[in-house]
Structure 1
Amino acid sequence: MNSETLSLDQYEAGTSLWADAWIRLRRNKLAIFGLIVLVCVTFLCLITPWIAPYGYEEQNLALGASGPSAQHWLGTDTLGRDLLTRILYGGRVSLMVGLIATAVALIIGVTYGAVAGYAGGRVDTVMMRLVDIIYALPFMIFIVLLMVVFGRSLFLLFLAIGAVEWLTMARIVRGQVQTLKQLEFVEAAQSIGLPQRTIIWRHIIPNALGPVIVYTTLTIPNVMLLEAFLSFLSLGIQPPQSSWGVLISLGVESMEEYPWLLIFPGLVLSLVLFSLNFLGDGLRDALDVRASKD
């Protein structure tokens, strides 16, 4: 063997884009903190029925609104209901709204943007002008109209929020597709006669997942904040269901007499929103294809 020839184990093992992204993400302490917080909060909300200290609607009118104590760690509301229990149950609704409404926006936005970007020409122009028109419509009027016509329901809330959050996603995906469709691997797929649908879903969209994942993590807090705003205006979650937005709305009504009813739900919502934004920023940096290896 030639002395200049290197054995296989002397070569540096190659790593994939996702492996490199995970390595860079782990170095971002704020992103990892956000991920840990989200996992812990989600886990606690999922197991709420088994760990909640009191029933969701269990009232103690004689107790009324009382501050934090050994029996009620975060205090009780005006009806004597344990605030910690209601925050945990409200988190199930808020997180579900954030995830499902974002999923609706993701499906619509990715599909719409991919078709517009790949088709190009007049099709792209018409599709994106439609996006501009929808952008110009006040989303609150759109949601209120849906509530008036179809009635208030949790399922309708998912669709209504998702229907106004997909627009930016469509623009992001369109821009990525317009860049990717000029690359060699797409031209090779076209040259062998693959259907356009196959090229879009199996070759282009997987390579555009980086920006999509990043924007998805940033959409979830936007959706949760929008739900909280709608609930604050009594247009969102309706009693007896509850969410963090509903609890904050109720806390505002009595914040001078019972400030803990606003402080604790507000702190939990803020912590989750900050964690999602930290994670989104970390993913943006980790999935930056221009980042060089160490």
Structure 2
Amino acid sequence: MGIHSPDNTPHLITVGDASLPGIVFLHGFLGSARDWLPVAESLSDRFQCLLPELPGHGESRSRDQNGPMAFHNAALGLLEAIANVRSGPVHLVGYSMGGRMALYMALKFPRRFKTVTLVSATPGLRTTEEQRERRVHDELLAAELEQDPEGFLERWYRLPLFATLKAHPSFPEVLAARRTGNPKTLASSLRALGTGNQPSQWDNLADNSLPIMFCVGEKDSKFVEIGHQMVNLCPCSSLEIFEGCGHTLHIEKRTLFLDRLTRFINHPSSLPK
């Protein structure tokens, strides 16, 4: 395992030999590069896995920016961190906040990627009014996280989309990892990279040219519906619904996720719409 942290670029862990094809894994809100380590270690004989950390998460610095360019600038920082380790296009995987970032990067910089796998992710909100309302909501959450981090985590994981994760044997380990985060920088990241501050990509889906696999959990009904909407608008895409899973399907059904991911990467045109 290698660790790469040049100044002003996101912290990044590598797993696997540089001579192998590359896969980038982006974690979700409150997470870190280590969230993807079990997956990366399972793939390390076939791929070099790059695990960057989003701004304000893990050992990545907060960018202290939450204006309209914050999301784009975070994407540029991630691209730079990847380019510091590998040249040429790579496969891209992202979960939740990391999935939203992955979709943005793929649509803006398609030549940097071979395939894209999105886990419980969206193209953002459709209207400026929805974005404005969500920024207000995200600001309240960020303030709560700064003022009462333990209470925030307790309330966060009470959300219905995490019900299946809470029932999973891995949940205590996940919760312990979340408690190691820095509340101040995580709150800053939510302000910068939250759904309300994300440029909507709904109108850009039709321009996609990359193979994309949208992955959703059967029990995560909101994201199942979004997944159907995305695949209907996005060329070269497919939708995979994981039975018995919620939002964190890559944790709840890790072996199945690995199987479908490697099948997609090896045969990106084989999955049905």
Query: TM-score, normalized by length of structure 1?
Result: 0.20
Higher relative contact order (CA 8 A, sep 6+): 1
